[in-house]
């Protein structure tokens, strides 16, 4: 713990965290550019840094990408990303009634509290989970990785086959390169560039940055260059009432606490996502049976109730702590952000899971401290600069799209300075665009791509140690397979019932 704190208090690391949080808030407050985009852009520029600094930057960015995006939901009724959609319900009506400052103050304070609660959960869970995780062998990790992929693909049951197909495509592309066991070439087509496989950075940049650039360039073809927000419906932010909003987060502590815990639970569950967590927190707060006296004088939910702002935003940042629990303990990401983080950590020589809990506990504690510090910094920055940051939402897509595309392609090239990276990023961008257009999950594709080498490693190791029947050699692995079969069977049963009901 002390070693982790020492990492964070290093002046260079502190400066890097502050810069990462500032950059994240500038991007997050621009509608359409979410957390995965931020990490995809940052990764190429941090790979050359000391691993401790690089990890601190990426964690600070991922922990605070949901903070600034609430501002546009409140002021313009346009979510900065999907994870701020629930803020529109009560946040924008508050702004229309002249309480924009109060809504932003309440949202930012609840967001900071949620982030700190998420970090506290991580600090409690890691020491408890450590001996349990260390009892897992290669067979258990192979099965739990397959279980994670199936669970993520089955979360959206109406798109189950598309989710499975997307995950399978990601796994297939992860096999490109030389076989780690035999050295045989796989899908290299005689290209020396592909011997090392498809590089993570250009694939990430393509999936999230180039895809967003394509969408913006499409929007730019609309009359007026595709404005990101409607100026006619915009509400100018003011500092008036901000302090009252800060007090609201503590005055309605039950809503803050409940929203934070909903976010934590959603974060731990794979594939649910921050957007679902916000709406679940909103519903939970709106349906609370016990309503304190201070809440009775508030307007109804949906008409500017400050509790409808506090609950969802508390869930937004507490989800970050929950997301990191399965990633750090088992090396299993639950969404696009943690998948990118996992891939970046592996490339930098840090393998989340049992190895990390044995040899890199200082990094684990540093991540926990960065979560706390990042949330406090992000809240302070947005509260102080919301009036000026909000003007970024007025940018037209015709200006933003080409800039995003140029930065994305440069970021892809900057990692290895190989023209192949630009081609891979462009191809991944087109792939991401069509996956999104036709309802295939980009997240399941990415997680399949990131987990592919890990899955293969555990499979080969299990076969070498236990032989072809390795599942039956390990009771815990058999139990995990039983859980997997139950999940798949239940999903197929529900899918069939739904088809019969609609027939």
pLDDT digits (tens, 9 = 90+) for 7-59: 999 999 999 999 999 988 888 777 666 667 788 888 888 877 888 999 999 99
**Centroid of chain to Cα 348:** 19
Residue 242 has which token pair? 């901000």
Q: Is 197 left (phi over 0), alpha (psi -120 to 50) or beta?
A: left
Q: Is 74 left (phi over 0), alpha (psi -120 to 50) or beta?
A: alpha
User: How far is 503 from 501, CA to CA, in rounded Å?
Assistant: 6
User: How far is 477 from 461, CA to CA, in rounded Å?
Assistant: 14
- Out of 17-26, 87-96, 251-260, 378-387, the most confident range is 17-26
Calculate the average pLDDT of the chain.
80
User: Which of 451, 417, 450, 445 lies closest to 429, judged by CA?
Assistant: 445
Residue 408 has which token pair? 């994305």
**Centroid of chain to Cα 4:** 23
Place of tokens 């609609």: 502
User: What pLDDT was estimated at residue 391?
Assistant: 66
* Confidence category of residue 431, pLDDT binned at 50, 70, 90: very high
Residue 309 has pLDDT above 80, yes or no: yes
Residue 202 has pLDDT above 70, yes or no: yes
Residue 440 has which token pair? 């295939």
Instruction: Tell me the pairing of strands 177-178 and 185-186.
Output: antiparallel
Residue 226 has pLDDT above 70, yes or no: no
Place of tokens 């096999």: 175
User: How far is 8 from 371, CA to CA, in rounded Å?
Assistant: 11
pLDDT digits (tens, 9 = 90+) for 270-290: 655 556 667 778 878 877 755
Question: Which whole number is the average pLDDT over 415-424?
Answer: 84
**Centroid of chain to Cα 458:** 25
User: How far is 319 from 334, CA to CA, in rounded Å?
Assistant: 11
* Confidence category of residue 430, pLDDT binned at 50, 70, 90: very high
- b/e map 453-480, b = 16+ CB within 10 Å: bbbbbbbebbbeebeeebbeebeebeeb
* Confidence category of residue 383, pLDDT binned at 50, 70, 90: confident
**Strand pairing partners for 186?**
177
Question: Which whole number is the average pLDDT over 395-423?
Answer: 81
Question: Which whole number is the average pLDDT over 323-344?
Answer: 80
* Confidence category of residue 341, pLDDT binned at 50, 70, 90: confident
Place of tokens 């009892």: 135
User: How far is 388 from 136, CA to CA, in rounded Å?
Assistant: 50
Least confident stretch, 220-229, 342-351, 372-381, 445-454: 220-229
User: What pLDDT was estimated at residue 318?
Assistant: 82
SS3 content of the chain, % helix, strand, coil (to 5): 80, 0, 20
Alpha helices in 252-292 (DSSP H): 253-268, 274-286
**Centroid of chain to Cα 500:** 35
pLDDT digits (tens, 9 = 90+) for 80-103: 666 666 777 788 788 777 777 888
Instruction: Give me the DSSP letters along 452-494.
Output: HHHHHHHHHHHHHHH-TTHHHH-HHHHHHHHHHHHHHHHHHHH
* Confidence category of residue 167, pLDDT binned at 50, 70, 90: confident
Residue 171 has pLDDT above 80, yes or no: yes
DSSP state of 224: G
Instruction: Report the 10 Å Cβ neighbour count for 189.
Output: 7
Alpha helices in 194-306 (DSSP H): 200-204, 211-220, 242-251, 253-268, 274-286, 293-296
Domain-by-domain residue ranges, the chain?
A: 2-502
User: What pLDDT was estimated at residue 370?
Assistant: 92
User: How far is 117 from 132, CA to CA, in rounded Å?
Assistant: 23
**Centroid of chain to Cα 475:** 33
Task: With H, G, I as helix, E, B as strand and everything else as coil, classify residue 186.
Answer: strand
Burial of 389 (0-12, 13-18, 19+ CB in 10 A): buried
The better pLDDT of the pair 110, 411 is held by: 110
User: What pLDDT was estimated at residue 292?
Assistant: 57
Cα-based distances in Å from 157 to 285, 487, 491 = 26, 11, 7
User: What pLDDT was estimated at residue 228?
Assistant: 57
Question: Which whole number is the average pLDDT over 187-213?
Answer: 84
Cα-only R_g, the chain: 23
């Amino acid at each position: 713990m002390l070693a982790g704190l020492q990492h964070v208090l290093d002046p260079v690391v502190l400066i890097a965290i502050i810069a990462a949080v500032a950059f994240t808030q500038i991007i997050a407050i621009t509608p359409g550019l979410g957390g995965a985009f931020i990490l995809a852009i940052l990764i190429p520029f941090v790979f050359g840094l000391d691993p401790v600094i690089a990890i601190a930057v990426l964690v600070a960015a991922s922990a605070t990408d949901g903070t600034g995006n609430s501002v546009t939901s409140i002021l313009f009724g346009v979510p900065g990303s999907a994870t701020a959609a629930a803020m529109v319900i009560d946040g924008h009506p508050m702004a229309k009634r002249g309480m924009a400052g109060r809504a932003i103050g309440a949202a930012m304070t609840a967001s900071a509290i949620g982030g700190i609660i998420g970090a506290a959960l991580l600090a409690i869970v890691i020491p408890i989970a450590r001996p349990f995780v260390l009892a897992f062998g290669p067979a258990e990790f192979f099965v739990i990785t397959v279980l994670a992929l199936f669970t993520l693909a089955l979360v959206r049951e109406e798109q189950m086959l598309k989710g499975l197909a997307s995950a399978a495509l990601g796994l297939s592309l992860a096999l490109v390169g030389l076989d780690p066991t035999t050295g045989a070439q796989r899908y290299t087509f005689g290209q020396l560039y592909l011997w090392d496989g498809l590089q993570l950075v250009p694939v990430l940049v393509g999936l999230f940055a180039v895809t967003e650039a394509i969408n913006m360039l499409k929007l730019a073809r609309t009359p007026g260059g595709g404005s990101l927000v409607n100026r006619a419906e915009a509400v100018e932010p003011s500092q008036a009432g901000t302090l009252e909003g800060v007090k609201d987060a503590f005055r309605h502590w039950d809503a803050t606490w409940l929203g934070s815990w909903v976010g934590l639970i959603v974060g731990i569950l794979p594939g649910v996502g921050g957007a679902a967590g916000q709406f679940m927190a909103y519903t939970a707060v709106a349906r609370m049976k016990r309503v304190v006296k201070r809440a009775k004088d508030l307007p109804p939910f949906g008409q500017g109730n400050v509790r409808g702002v506090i609950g969802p935003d508390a869930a937004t940042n507490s989800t970050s702590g929950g997301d990191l629990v399965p990633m750090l303990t088992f090396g299993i990401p639950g969404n696009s952000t943690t998948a990118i983080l996992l891939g970046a950590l592996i490339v930098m020589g840090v393998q989340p899971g049992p190895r990390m809990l044995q040899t890199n506990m200082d990094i684990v504690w540093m991540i926990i401290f960065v979560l706390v510090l990042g949330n406090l910094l992000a809240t302070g920055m947005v509260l102080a600069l919301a009036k000026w940051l909000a003007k970024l939402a007025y940018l037209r897509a015709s200006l933003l799209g080409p800039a995003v595309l140029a930065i994305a392609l440069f970021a892809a090239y900057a990692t290895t300075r190989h023209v192949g990276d630009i081609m891979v990023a462009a191809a991944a961008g087109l792939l991401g665009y069509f996956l999104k257009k036709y309802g295939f999950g980009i997240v399941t594709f990415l997680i399949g791509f990131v987990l592919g080498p890990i899955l293969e490693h555990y499979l080969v190791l299990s076969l070498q140690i236990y032989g072809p029947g390795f599942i039956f050699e390990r009771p815990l692995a058999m139990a995990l397979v039983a859980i997997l079969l139950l999940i798949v069977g239940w999903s197929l049963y529900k899918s069939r019932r739904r088809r019969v009901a609609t027939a």
